[in-house]
Amino acid sequence: MSWGAASYSRRTHPRTRAPMMAQPSLLLLLAAAAVLLLSLCDAHNKLAKKSDDVVNGPLLTSKLGAKRTLIVGPNDEFKTIQSAIDAVPDGNSEWVVVHLRAGVYTEKVVIPETKPFIFVRGNGKGRTSISYESASPHNTESATFAVHADNVIVFGISFRNAARAGLPNNPEIRTVATMVSGDKVAFYHCAFYSPHHTLFDSVGRHYYESCYIQGNIDFIFGGGQSIFQCAEIFVKPDRRTPILGSITAQDRKEESGSSGFVFLKGKVYGVGEVYLGRANEAYSRVVFADTYLSKTVNPAGWTNYNFSGSTEHVMLGEFNCTGPGAERSQRVPWSRQLDQAEAAKFLTVDFINGKDWLPAFYY
């Protein structure tokens, strides 16, 4: 295992050009282009945009102001992640960093609700991984990594449920990579892998920035109130069942409920076909906005598979999406194509009150 760090430098090579006299027609053309650019920028500024911060481990550490760090690694005080989590006192009220050395950690990890204010910091999702083979009829029991506490931040880690899709040959067996049921939980630059029910976004306000999520059947599901910013969603076929999978199955049960899944400025691609989501409850709410949809997305877009209720009140919609999978002509009639006014409340972290608790975000 290598513990070295890489660095790079960037150089520019200016070129010298002979001065040229601008022609009047050229000046007019440049002025028109400038006006167009300003108008496009103004429109863009109404949508979510990235802060000037480069989100990385040191930035998040400084923003959180953590004063204590527990290091996990083969030659460190804590050999397992769970032992470091257990060392955080119950009722903790100050941010504690649990830093993971690069490597693969083969264990099941649970952050109980009694241990808030933990920052789990990896060395990057390509270098730090938590992997465990776990299959169960129950989502909670199957999860490789579970967050039940409020105020948890995670950076630079891959989470994998290593159970094989064909064993056992039962589509009802769950293989959750990560379960999130705490409030004010954020994942930055993480990855989630599982044969299907990958991310159980159960309840609470959550933020996922620049994360990779892979699966097939209902692989982002639950009743969370969550934003997926710049998500990379990769669809894999599930050989255990002939049905097309759905990326999302959201569990909003009442009109007054605040939950919902919002996908901003990401991309959907993969193998085979998939629906963007399915009506899972009477008020299911999912929005894909400014997202690239590849031909992996079935032309119908959405489904009510296995849902016997009315679709009158579900809010499964799209705004300003692009790509071959964004073609609207064959969408199911009860799905929504949102206009700017309808989409506005979903396009910033205000949807999750993020300005009150996120250390870094798009705004």
Catalytically active residues are 218
Q: What's 182's DSSP letter?
A: S
- Sign (positive/negative) of CA torsion 293, 296, 300, 304? negative
Pairwise CA distance, residues 27 & 1, whole Å:
59
Pairwise CA distance, residues 344 & 319, whole Å:
10
Cβ atoms of 266 and 292 closer than 8 Å: yes
Q: What's 264's DSSP letter?
A: E
Pairwise CA distance, residues 221 & 277, whole Å:
9
Cβ atoms of 182 and 202 closer than 8 Å: no
* Residue 291 CA: distances (Å) to CA of 67, 68, 164, 171: 38, 39, 30, 29
